[in-house]
Amino acid sequence: GAVVSQHPSRVICKSGTSVKIECRSLDFQATTMFWYRQFPKQSLMLMATSNEGSKATYEQGVEKDKFLINHASLTLSTLTVTSAHPEDSSFYICSARTSGNLSWEQYFGPGTRLTVT
Amino acid sequence: SQQGEEDPQALSIQEGENATMNCSYKTSINNLQWYRQNSGRGLVHLILIRSNEREKHSGRLRVTLDTSKKSSSLLITASRAADTASYFCATALNQAGTALIFGKGTTLSVSS
C-alpha cells in the first residue's frame, strides 16, 4: 500500500510555456502533500507544503506565483510551473502524508523530470 | 532549507567492503530516515530510526543515532555493485505533519 504516482514522468517544454505536474495518492487519503525540487547532483529541496482545501505554504525563496500548487482533493495535488525558463529544469518530486497514526510516514512519488528548452 | 550535512560527499569502495556514511543535523527531531536514490530515479526508503532509539538493523544496513551529537551513521556491510547510488538522510521534526528535510547526500560507488 501507500503508493504515490506522478504524471508525467518526464516532460520537455519550451521557454515561456506552463507545465502541470500531477501527484496522486493511489490507495490512501493524503491530507498533506509536499513538493520538492532536485537539481542535478544535489539534494532534495522542499518547495512547498500543501494541505487539502487550503493554500500552500511556500519555502523561503520559492515564488508562489511561479509555482502554483493546488491540492483540491485528498488524493491529488498539482504543481504548475508557469512561464517556465531553462533554470526551472529540474527533477520535481512529490510526497504525501496521511493524518492518521502513521502521520510520520511520508510516501514519495517517482519524480518528474522537467526540461525547459 | 536543509537540515543535515552528510559526509563524505563521495565514497568509492570495492565490492565486499563496508561503507559508512555520516549525517549531522541541527534541530531536535522525532525520527531520522535514510533513503537511497539511483541516478535519475526516485527515492527508496531504507530505514527509519526514532529519536529514542540508538541503533537499528535491516539486512546489511545498520543505522545509529546519537541525539546528543545530533548525528547518525549508515553502515552498509559487504557492499555490492548494486549498492552504487546516492544516499540521503532526512529528518522529521517533532511537529507532526511537517516535511522531511534532506541532507546533502553521499554518492557511493562500489566497483567489482
- The cell numbers describing B48, all together, are 527509519
> Per residue in B7-31, pLDDT tens?
899 999 999 999 999 999 999 999 9
- In chain A, % helix, strand, coil (3-state, to 5) comes to 5, 50, 45
Tell which residue, B46, B38, B100, B106, has the closest CA to residue A45.
B100
Whether residue B1 lies within 8 A of chain A, CB to CB, comes out as yes
Reported in sequence order, the residue ranges of chain B that DSSP labels E, i.e. its strands, are: 5-7, 10-14, 19-24, 31-37, 43-50, 55-58, 61-66, 71-76, 85-92, 101-102, 106-111
Residue B40 has pLDDT above 90, yes or no: no
CA distances from A85 to A42, A68, A114, B16, B48 (A): 19, 15, 11, 45, 37
Cross-chain CB nearest to A97 (options B1, B97, B104): B97
Contacts with B87 from chain A: Cβ below 8 Å? none
Q: Which residues of chain B neighbour A49 with C-beta distances below 8 Å?
A: 98-99
Cα A34–chain centre separation: 6
Q: Smallest Cβ distance to B88: which of A43, A95, A106? A: A43
Nearest-angstrom CA–CA distance, B42 and B86: 11
* pLDDT at residue A102, as a whole number: 53
Q: Does A115 touch chain B (CB under 8 A)?
A: no
User: Tell me, what's the pLDDT at A99?
Assistant: 67
In this prediction, the residues of chain A whose per-residue pLDDT falls under 50 are: none
Other CB atoms within 10 Å distance of the CB of residue B21: 24
Q: Are the beta carbons of B72 and B22 closer than 8 angstroms? A: yes
Task: Please compute Rg for chain B using Cα positions.
Answer: 13
pLDDT band at B57 (very low <50, low <70, confident <90, very high): very high
B15 to chain A, closest Cα gap in Å: 23
Considering chain B, what is the average pLDDT of its residues?
92
pLDDT value of residue B87: 97
**Per the CB < 8 Å rule, is B1 touching A60?**
yes
Residue B109 confidence (pLDDT) above 90:
yes
pLDDT of B91 higher than 80: yes
